[in-house]
Structures are given as structure tokens and as C-alpha cells.
A = this chain, B = another copy of it.
Amino acid sequence: MSEPLRIALAGLGTVGGGVIRLIEANADLIARRAGRPIVITTVSARNRDKDRGFDVSRYAWEDDMVILGERPDVDVVVELVGGADGPALALARTTFEAGKALVTANKAMIAHHGVELATKAEAAKVALKFEAAVAGGIPVIKGLKEGVAANEIARVYGILNGTCNYILSTMEDTGRDFADVLAEAQAKGYAEADPTFDIDGIDAAHKLSILSSIAFGTAVDFKPVAATGIRRVLAADIAQADVLGYYIRLIGMAETEMDAAGNRRLFQRVHPHLVHRDHPLAHVDGATNAVVAEGNFVGRLLFQGAGAGDGPTASAVVADLIDIARGDIGAPFSIPVAELERAAPAETGHRRGKAYIRFNVADRPGVLAEITAAMRDAGVSIESFIQKGGQDDAPVMVSMVTHEGPESAIAEALRLLDGSPVLAEPPLVMHILGE
């Protein structure tokens, strides 16, 4: 086992630089733990001459990254290019065709093409590993695939996007509004110039679809994930939640349930939630990620750590490489891809819970009567209700927390109010995270 494991690196951005730094800094320790050295032999990126702040001249350069896996001096390709399709996907396919293993941090590609790629990897009897695709440095893929392998998982959920959590917890600490904090996060490099994938929940949805596949043994299925981001959360919502004992967090949640016909259905949703102060996710601040898994014997487990950044992401990439160096191929989604269940998306109307609903309304007589009548007619029972006066002619904020009830009742109440002239904008609904 003293033959080195030879790596090709595709993509030399921040994470690629992190992988190079890590493999160099911790080389001895890695060789000891892996049983053999892990060495980078070849690198590839779009632009050879770009100044990256780190030296890649000691590695062979390959202009055409798609053929990296075909090189005889490469055992494993590390894909850090990103994007669900394009060169990343082409590279993954040619790598498996060449009979080589692939390690990737590419959540979009795994969420969209995970089943196809796992099929190809298993056919070639090589590893496909993607610990870095979910929750950065936190070994949650390994935790689900191996650590809780003895358990039927009832539910997996968590804080899966560091940018959103940074924005929400900064809004919380400073009382500032979303747009303001987002602009600052962009200036500091914590948020992308185009932040859509992060703040609209799509990045979290990618990760959630991967987690739920591994937790439940279902084929990864990104399309049905209902994703709402944090654009519409106001500083006033956060202040209101605080009064009630809650923090607001963007939560990705997945569960399975049986439908009336006895078929297993998959529920996957990314949505801002009110999280009670006593729940461990309430205290996850800044760019941190955290994942909770609930197993039928282990109970509730929490994994928490840095969800992004070059160091943590490189840590996850190299952990996968060490597993491969040790001879662990494994099934990419824990069980063979042919055995993954194709579960239809679950209905949501019958899901029961408490919710926070916030209305911005015109300040005129009869507004409260109209809202409360709609709630009554839809069968929504209200636990607490707060109206905060607007100044002058500004809209007034009315927020409420419902008693536990079906989601369909809230949808019906909002339908009854739809188009009402008293609403200055559509109401915002946030679910309250249950025990």
C-alpha cells in the first residue's frame, strides 16, 4: 500500500487552492492516516496563466480538463469546476468511462445528475464521493452513510446555506434590513455578486436533495424540492419572532411518509422557519451550517461546523481522497443505485404545525376584521396576534402565530384574502420548527 494515490485537480479557484494547500501542509499526516501518500500530479483550469496566488508549476498542466481521467498518471479526478452541466458533467462522465474515481464538491451536478453518475461509477467499480457538496467541512454525508447506517432515518433537516444564515443572524444582531446586510455581505465576499442561488434557497435545495437520498435510500430528486429563500424576511419579523422566543433560520427539511395507497412519499422543502430558543439550531450563528438527523435507535444527532470556505471544503475533499486511498469504494448513495427507491413527492396540505403569518396592511377600519374572518372561515386558530402601528400612512404590520393545524387551512385563508385591497403585499408565511 505504499504506492501514492495520484490526483488530478480540475478547477483552480478558491477551493482548488485550498486543496493544494491542505495536501501540501498535511502531507505526512495524510500519508500516515491513508496508508500511502496522496499526491497531485496534474491540474487543469480554464486559464493557465491567471495569477492565483499559489504555484501550480510543479504539476503537469492539462489544457483539456475533460480528458483528465484518461491520463495514465491519474487515479482520481477532483472536480472543482462547478455547474450542474457543462465541463463538470462531461469530466465526470469521461472519468468513469476511463475507470477512474471522482471526488467532487459540486452539489448542483449531484442534485441533477446523481443517479446517472452513481450508475456509471458503480458500473466502473470506482468511487464517486461528494462529502464537500453538502455542508462544507462537516462530515455529514459520511455521518449519514456510515455513522447512522444502522438506523431508519425519520427526518433530516438543517441549516444548509451559510450565506443566508450569515445574513439572518446579522439582521438579528444589528436590527438592519435584508438588502442592507446582503450588500455588506457581497462587499465582504460572503455573498456572490449574483446571490440568487443562495438567498432564494436553491443552493440549500441542492444539498437537501442529496441528504435526503442518502438518509432515505431514495433516488436523488431535486426538482420537487419546494424552495423559498429569505428575501422577504424583514428586520421587523426577526424582532417579532424574538419577542415570541424564536429565531428565524432558513431550514431545509426532508421526511418520508406513507400515502393512502401505502406508497412511500418524499417531502423536501427549504423555507425560512421560526426556531425556538431551546432548539440547538437556534444558536447556529454566522456562516455556520448544521444538520440534524433523527434515527429510530440513535435519536437526534446534530452535526455542526463551517459550511463553506476553502479550508473546510478542502478538508472534506481530502477526507474523501483518504477514504479512496484506504480502499473504500462504497456505493455513492450508501445502497446500490439500482436499489434506490423512486418516491413520489409528498402532498403538503395535511402537514400539521404552527405557523407565523405576517401581513402588511393599509391602516384603515375593518382590516383586522377581514383578516380574522378569513382565518375563522378557513379554520385557522390563532394563538397570538400583534399589530404594530405604522407611522403616518405607512402600511401597518400585523403578525400572528397560529395554533397547530394543517397547512391546507392556512393556504385556504390566504386564498380567501387573495386580491383583497387591504393587503399592501402578499402575506409572508413561515413555519415553526416542531420538536
Contacts and interface: CB of A to CB of B under 8 A. Distances in A.
Interface of A: 18, 22, 25-26, 29-30, 32-34, 131, 137-139, 142-143, 145-152, 217, 280, 283-284, 290, 295-306, 309, 311-312, 314-319, 321-323, 326, 328, 330, 334-335, 339
29 contacts: A26-B152, A29-B217, A30-B149, A30-B150, A33-B334, A137-B297, A137-B301, A139-B147, A142-B142, A142-B147, A146-B146, A146-B319, A148-B315, A148-B319, A149-B319, A150-B319, A150-B322, A151-B315, A280-B284, A283-B283, A290-B302, A297-B311, A298-B311, A298-B315, A299-B309, A300-B305, A302-B302, A302-B305, A326-B330
A339 B305 CA distance: 30
A319 B148 CA distance: 6
A18 B297 contact: yes
A306 B302 contact: no
Given A146-B322, A326-B330, 12 more contacts: A26-B151, A30-B149, A131-B147, A139-B148, A142-B143, A143-B147, A150-B318, A150-B319, A280-B280, A298-B316, A303-B303, A304-B304
Copies of the polypeptide in the assembly: 2
B302 A303 contact: yes
B314 A297 contact: yes
A228 to B, nearest CB: 27
Contacts of A22: 150, 297
A300 B285 CA distance: 13
A357 to B, nearest CB: 28
Given A150-B318, A322-B150, A311 B335 contact: no
Contacts of A315: 148, 150-151, 295, 297-298
Given A147-B143, A150-B26, A304-B304, A298 B312 contact: yes
A305 B312 contact: no
A317 B297 CA distance: 11
A344 B30 CA distance: 24
A80 B316 CA distance: 33
A29 B154 CA distance: 13
Nearest to A295: B315
A314 B26 contact: no
